[in-house]
Amino acid sequence: MPRTMSVRLSRSLLILTLSIYLALAVGYGVVTPLFETPDEHLHYFTADFIAREGRLPTTRDPGPMAQESAQPPLYYVLASMIVRATGGADDASLWANPRSNPEDPLGESLVQPPLNINAFIHGPAEGWPWRGYVLSAHLARMLSAVFGLGTLICIYGAGRVVWPSDPGSALVATALVAFLPQFAFIHGAVSNDAAITFFSAAAIWQLLRITNDELRMTNEEAGLSSSTGSLALLGMTIGLAMLSKTAGLLLLVFCVAVLLVWAWRRGGRRHVSAVVALVALPALLLGGWWLWRNWVLYGDPTAANQFILLAGGERPYTLRQVWHDMDRVWTSLFARFGWMNVRPPVWVWFAWSGIAALAAIGALLRVTRNRRSLHQFHLSPATLLHPAMILLGWFAVVGLGWLQFMLRTPADQGRLFFPALIPLALAAAYGLGRWPRPWTQLGVIGLALLTSVYSLAVVIPSAYALPPPAAASAEATPLDIQFPEGLELLGARVETAEARPGDWAWVTLYWSALPNRTDGAPLVYLELFGRDYERIGLQSGYHGRGNYPATLWPVGEIVADRAAVRVLDDAAAPVEARLTVKLDETLSGIDIGTVKVIPAHWPEPVMPIATLGDSIELASAEVSTTSAAPGETVEVHLRWQVIAPPGPAQLHLFAHLGDPAAQPLAQADGPVMGGQYPARLWAAGEVFDETVALTLPGDLPPGEYPVTVGLYDFDSGLRLPLWADGRRLPTDALPVSSLLIIR
């Protein structure tokens, strides 16, 4: 933004920014299904309890509120007024997804399909027009959006205090937060985070105004008289923050500490007493009763012991473990939706990381540009009251509070840093101000808005989208299988031809509900079986990736249900894996297709010891022992290298003991790789190992016998031409070793 921007223009642009934010926050609240944000159902039922019971909850009987029953009550009391006016619900109204995957156990894999990301099933009752608890929950979401609107106004106000002659920078700081996808998402949910974020921003804005140099100079002779109202208002704001979340206590300690330094410089002990009376006392009058109640009920004024207990209990976490989780904290500061398990495309994170890097580099350049000021810097009461020091101090306090909490219970979510949005936003605007204006700022703001709009319009709707009604695809394999549950599987289309361990194999199943459909909603079990029919993948859940149980289907409508199963990391490969589906966990699955599973990396090819036909090389061949007794079994280890696809031929392997020109004394004969990786799937560059067992007859005379191997076409019975040392062997069988038979 241009440095010469007028205040009038900046305010007009501020109104536009706030309007866009409000549309985004309301939009996120509309497209995100109910209770698909972190702990939203717990927040809602806390408000619902207050509306129905007319009293505050306790942790002695938390019910559907769980750990939120230990939270400060302000947000819930406000939301309860909405619930009381529009109608509430009980926990029986929720249909939980039994295979919900809110914890994202697969870690930070960039390939994470939206399977079972929904914590709850969302039926027609949640559709428009909203009624009952659906209406009250959406209106409570709008309450959060209004709190977010207040936060943005506070950010702009703080920016105007820090840069009184540069309204453009204040506007940049505001727009960055307004268009932050995570900010709009959280403020489109039922959550007390909206309240603590607002009251924290309001308090820091007021603190900056009170300690501002110009205001201090104006009041130099008047003492605190002209600041009395501001101090009292700050005290009340802090008190409301204390009633919003326990981070309000950090706000009380920090603001009082800063004001004590400020007051001491103003007039000594008398002014310090005034700060205590005007700030600390109103804050404690508003919020202190809650601390006392917690002390009486739980022996902890913050009730943190109860919150941690109900959230899963105390955990011993180390700083190293916290550091390991910081990538999740970083990405969820920008964009992570659902229960932190709906992730945007990587470019969204890259965009915000780029914005952060650009701002950080710019801030560093601006700070280091004036080296003289840096050399003269020293800690003093005056420097402690500088706006930059106040902002840095508040961010540090929030960070330390989060760290202490993180060491005790899971808290790896970036939204927990939202109470420090003013320091973060102003620091970003300060850094971006180093670069050419206005194009850098306009580009950054436009990119930020793009990420938020894309997440709203594409990421979240696609994650919870229901399978579309469709006709069975002509590419699908017809099945026409009826299940006892009253469902018919019309066909299946395997979409993933080739996968590696850790990859997802996709399939579209075409289902239809029969008139005799049972009342229960069956789970679908999609399984993948590899070598020796060992299961190497399992995905279970309701149809529609967990979103669309069969009881919600119209009878007779074809549902194109796209699903996936993940190949286990330790799956043996290569293999032609079989894909099966079933509706009863206790039964065997029905084959619906195959998937070629290959290793993550093929071994490097080497100089072969033999070439078979035009497309296959034998890289190595070893016998497990040099001597054996009759009746024992020896193993022959082979490594194949594929020069070119061998085509549709059914290649079989033979391993013979004895003269290759005579009948074998012992033999192993069968499909290459035991038929589990047929030659029709082989591709150029593949290198894989095989072991065959050669069982010796019990009456084998002692002596030394050659072991030979080769390949033949099962359909024709002809051996593949075998070349070694530049010549074709007469029997097309390669001697690989000699075996001494002993008694």
| pLDDT, tens only, 327-351 | 889 999 999 999 998 999 999 999 9
Are the C-beta atoms of residues 704 and 738 closer than 8 Å to each other?
yes
pLDDT of residue 378: 62
pLDDT at 79 over 90: yes
Q: Is 332 helix (H, G, I), strand (E, B) or coil?
A: helix
pLDDT of residue 71: 93
Q: Calculate mean pLDDT across residues 714-736.
A: 94
Are the C-beta atoms of residues 517 and 555 closer than 8 Å to each other?
yes
CA distance 694 to 512: 51
pLDDT at 713 over 60: yes
* β-sheet bridge partners, residue 719: 712
In order, the DSSP letters of 28-61 are HHHHSPTT-STTHHHHHHHHHHHHHHSS---TTS
The residue to which tokens 């995957």 are assigned: 101
> Taking all residues of the chain, what is their mean pLDDT, rounded to a whole number?
90
pLDDT band at 356 (very low <50, low <70, confident <90, very high): very high
- Return phi, psi of residue 68, to 5°: -70, -15
Q: Is 671 helix (H, G, I), strand (E, B) or coil?
A: strand
* β-sheet bridge partners, residue 524: 541
What one-character DSSP code corresponds to residue 16?
H
Q: Calculate mean pLDDT across residues 4-31.
A: 91
pLDDT at 64 over 90: no
pLDDT of residue 500: 96
- 381-384: Cβ within 8 A, 24+ apart: 381/261, 381/264, 381/265, 382/265, 384/258, 384/261
CA distance 444 to 363: 15
pLDDT of residue 368: 83
pLDDT of residue 221: 45
CA distance 381 to 383: 6
Torsional class of 576: left (φ above 0), alpha (ψ -120 to 50), beta (otherwise): beta
Q: What is the dihedral of CA 206, 210, 215, 220, to 10 degrees?
A: 160
pLDDT of residue 220: 45
Q: Calculate mean pLDDT across residues 547-555.
A: 91
pLDDT of residue 108: 46
pLDDT of residue 104: 53
CA distance 716 to 646: 15
CA distance 482 to 22: 49
pLDDT at 5 over 80: no
Q: Is 562 helix (H, G, I), strand (E, B) or coil?
A: strand
pLDDT at 377 over 80: no
pLDDT digits (tens, 9 = 90+) for 182-192: 999 999 999 99
pLDDT at 695 over 50: yes
pLDDT band at 218 (very low <50, low <70, confident <90, very high): very low
pLDDT band at 374 (very low <50, low <70, confident <90, very high): low
CA distance 227 to 428: 30
pLDDT of residue 88: 66
Name the residue with higher pLDDT: 225 or 463.
463
The residue to which tokens 């949910």 are assigned: 189
pTM score, whole prediction:
0.87
pLDDT at 523 over 70: yes
Torsional class of 662: left (φ above 0), alpha (ψ -120 to 50), beta (otherwise): beta
Q: What percentage of the chain carries pLDDT values higher than 90?
A: 72
pLDDT digits (tens, 9 = 90+) for 276-316: 889 999 999 999 999 999 999 999 999 988 888 887 788 88
CA distance 102 to 126: 21
Q: Calculate mean pLDDT across residues 31-44.
A: 94
Q: Calculate mean pLDDT across residues 71-87.
A: 93
- Return phi, psi of residue 114, to 5°: -80, 80
pLDDT digits (tens, 9 = 90+) for 643-661: 999 988 899 999 999 998 8
CA distance 331 to 130: 33
Name the residue with higher pLDDT: 214 or 46.
46
In order, the DSSP letters of 488-531 are EEEEEEE--SEE-TT-EEEEEEEEEE-TT--SS-PPEEEEEE-G
Which tokens is 109 given? Answer: 């894999």
pLDDT at 693 over 50: yes
pLDDT at 4 over 80: no
CA distance 251 to 287: 12
pLDDT of residue 233: 94
pLDDT at 412 over 70: yes
Are the C-beta atoms of residues 560 and 468 closer than 8 Å to each other?
yes
pLDDT of residue 578: 97
pLDDT at 470 over 80: no
pLDDT of residue 91: 56
pLDDT band at 668 (very low <50, low <70, confident <90, very high): very high
pLDDT at 318 over 50: yes
Instruction: Report the side by side order of strands in the sheet with 524-529.
Output: 498-499, 590-597, 575-582, 524-529, 535-541
- Maximum separation of any 2 CA atoms in the chain, in Å: 117
The answer to which of 74-78, 379-383, 531-535, 691-695 has the lowest mean pLDDT is 379-383
**CB-neighbour burial class of residue 9 (10 A; exposed 0-12, middle 13-18, buried 19+):** middle
pLDDT of residue 1: 56
pLDDT of residue 226: 55
pLDDT of residue 636: 96
- Which residue segments constitute the domains of the chain, with CATH numbers given? 7-32+137-242+250-280+310-460 (no CATH), 477-597 (2.60.40.10), 610-741 (2.60.40.770)
CA distance 259 to 242: 18
The answer to which of 263-267, 565-569, 592-596, 691-695 has the lowest mean pLDDT is 263-267
Q: Calculate mean pLDDT across residues 521-543.
A: 95
pLDDT at 110 over 90: no
**Distance between alpha carbon 92 and the CA centroid of its chain, in Å?**
28
The answer to which of 40-44, 274-278, 412-416, 628-632 has the lowest mean pLDDT is 274-278
Q: Is 617 helix (H, G, I), strand (E, B) or coil?
A: strand
pLDDT band at 10 (very low <50, low <70, confident <90, very high): confident
Q: Calculate mean pLDDT across residues 480-498.
A: 93
pLDDT band at 75 (very low <50, low <70, confident <90, very high): very high
Instruction: Reply yes or no: is the peptide bond before residue 129 cis, omega within 30 of 0.
Output: yes
Are the C-beta atoms of residues 62 and 39 closer than 8 Å to each other?
no
